[in-house]
């Protein structure tokens, strides 16, 4: 059942609960992709498997995350988000323990990666569905994207300690510890405020549903492919123009801080301006950051490209989720978009590798830019029209719900 949670009229305690749980849900659901470089290295050094087998581990984990998100879609919209997320966290912990304690058998590790990806996918879908039901989802999505980045960075920061204490398998223990500590807060996703009025969800007729859904998924896919093309090789781009490794590492921290501040900005403006403006601002800005990064000829331009990427991508991602919620407050479109995002990113990484082999790093920036913006002229007007039609239908049905 969809609720019309009104952030301005809810108690401060419930606002904080939801913001914290959404941030944790966002952060945990992205741990698989964020921790992938460290997991891959652990599999090679600690489990002594080949690089290609370790790469397939990542492929299976991300693919299963996407599939799990789609499988959970029929259950979204019911007030069980906290239970779904908590169950997903238990699956993640079980899979990571199995990896940490288990043998170095490649099929066994691949099976565990599939299980782990399913857990991440369930958490991701539950988080998206819960926030999509809010009256102003853009605000909480902006807050949760920034808060989620804090969760992922904090997890990465534990790796030196877990590796020093537990050896090469430490990264998997980092995931276990962080998820175990934070998972109780996921139950707040199912928390119901007494001020929330249970109302019949707005029914979206199939033609109108498709008119809005397909364009936003296509636009989302193009955006994510562009991200995969460029961001998967951002270290290589820096090294090709002789950027110091220490600078590249420092940029990660600076970029996350800049992204967090942009999310704060996104949360402040949410509800005050048409969401199409920050959505376009984020997508076009991200595309321009790809050009700057790929075509960078010195350290200053490279740094500016990376920082601008973090600023724009955090706004774009939050408002893509908010746009999906605007079309479907049950979260089904958002879950499909999140699944599409992960698959498209992986496809973009493959395309980027091909472009590097046959061309140059500069071509990555151009390809990423084109992929990001090429769908906007057709898809954005259709999405805007769907927003308008949905708002009209909601206004027409509102008197019958009161």
Q: What is the pTM of this model?
A: 0.76
What was the pLDDT predicted at 203?
47
- With a cut of 80, say whether residue 20 has pLDDT above it: yes
Q: For residue range 214-245, what is the model confidence (pLDDT) as tens digits?
A: 888 888 899 989 888 887 777 778 878 887 76
Beta bridge partners of 134: 5
Distances (CA, A) of 180 to 17, 96, 176, 192: 18, 11, 6, 23
> Both tokens of residue 245?
């490794």
Q: Which of 120, 21, 32 is nearest to 72 (CA)?
A: 120
What was the pLDDT predicted at 338?
81
Report helix, strand or coil for 242: coil
Does residue 259 contact residue 310 with C-beta atoms inside 8 Å? yes
Distances (CA, A) of 388 to 170, 274, 339: 50, 11, 25
- With a cut of 90, say whether residue 284 has pLDDT above it: yes
Low-confidence winner among 103-107, 156-160, 392-396 (lowest mean pLDDT): 392-396
Helices (H), 270-360: 276-294, 299-327, 332-358
Q: For residue range 365-382, what is the model confidence (pLDDT) as tens digits?
A: 899 999 999 988 888 888
The C-alpha atoms of residue 304 and residue 117 are separated, in whole angstroms, by 33
Q: Phi, psi (5° rounding) for residue 5?
A: -60, 120
What was the pLDDT predicted at 90?
94
Q: Phi, psi (5° rounding) for residue 10?
A: -85, 160
What is the sign of the dihedral through the CA atoms of 364, 259, 243 and 59? negative
Low-confidence winner among 64-78, 224-238, 276-290, 312-326 (lowest mean pLDDT): 64-78
Place of tokens 């079309």: 327
């Amino acid at each position: 059942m969809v609720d019309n949670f009104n952030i301005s009229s809810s108690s401060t305690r419930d606002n904080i609960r939801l913001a914290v749980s959404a941030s944790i849900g966002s952060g945990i659901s992205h741990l698989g992709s964020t921790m992938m470089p460290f997991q891959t290295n652990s599999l090679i050094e600690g489990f002594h498997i080949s690089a290609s087998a370790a790469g397939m581990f990542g492929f299976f984990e991300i693919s299963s995350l996407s599939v799990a998100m789609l499988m959970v879609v029929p259950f979204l919209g019911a007030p069980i988000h906290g239970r779904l997320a908590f169950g997903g966290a238990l699956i993640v912990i079980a899979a990571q323990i199995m990896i940490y304690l288990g043998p170095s058998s490649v099929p066994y590790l691949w099976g565990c990666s599939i299980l782990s990806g399913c857990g991440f996918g369930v958490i991701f879908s539950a988080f998206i569905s819960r926030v999509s039901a809010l009256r102003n989802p853009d605000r909480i999505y902006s807050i949760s994207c920034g808060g989620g980045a804090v969760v992922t960075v904090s997890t990465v920061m534990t790796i030196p300690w877990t590796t020093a204490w537990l050896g090469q398998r430490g990264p998997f223990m980092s995931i276990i510890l962080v998820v175990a500590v934070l998972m109780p807060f996921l139950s707040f996703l199912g928390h119901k405020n007494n001020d929330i009025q249970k109302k019949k969800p707005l029914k979206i007729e199939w033609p109108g549903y498709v008119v809005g859904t397909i364009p936003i998924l296509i636009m989302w896919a193009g955006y994510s492919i562009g991200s995969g093309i460029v961001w998967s090789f951002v270290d290589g781009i820096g090294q090709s123009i002789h950027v110091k490794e220490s600078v590249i590492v420092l940029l990660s921290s600076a970029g996350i801080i800049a992204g967090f501040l942009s999310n704060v900005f996104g949360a402040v403006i949410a509800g005050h301006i048409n969401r199409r403006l920050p959505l376009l601002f984020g997508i076009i800005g991200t595309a321009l950051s790809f050009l700057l990064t790929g075509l960078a000829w010195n350290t200053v331009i490279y740094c500016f490209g990376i920082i601008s990427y973090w600023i724009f991508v955090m706004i774009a991602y939050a408002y893509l989720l908010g746009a999906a919620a605007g079309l479907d407050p049950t979260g089904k479109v958002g879950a499909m978009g999140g699944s599409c995002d992960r698959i498209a990113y992986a496809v973009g990484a493959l395309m980027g590798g091909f472009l590097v082999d046959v061309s140059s790093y500069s071509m990555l920036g151009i390809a990423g830019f084109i992929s990001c913006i090429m769908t906007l002229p057709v898809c954005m007007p259709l999405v805007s029209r769907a927003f308008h039609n949905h708002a009209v239908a909601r206004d027409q049905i509102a008197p019958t719900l009161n």
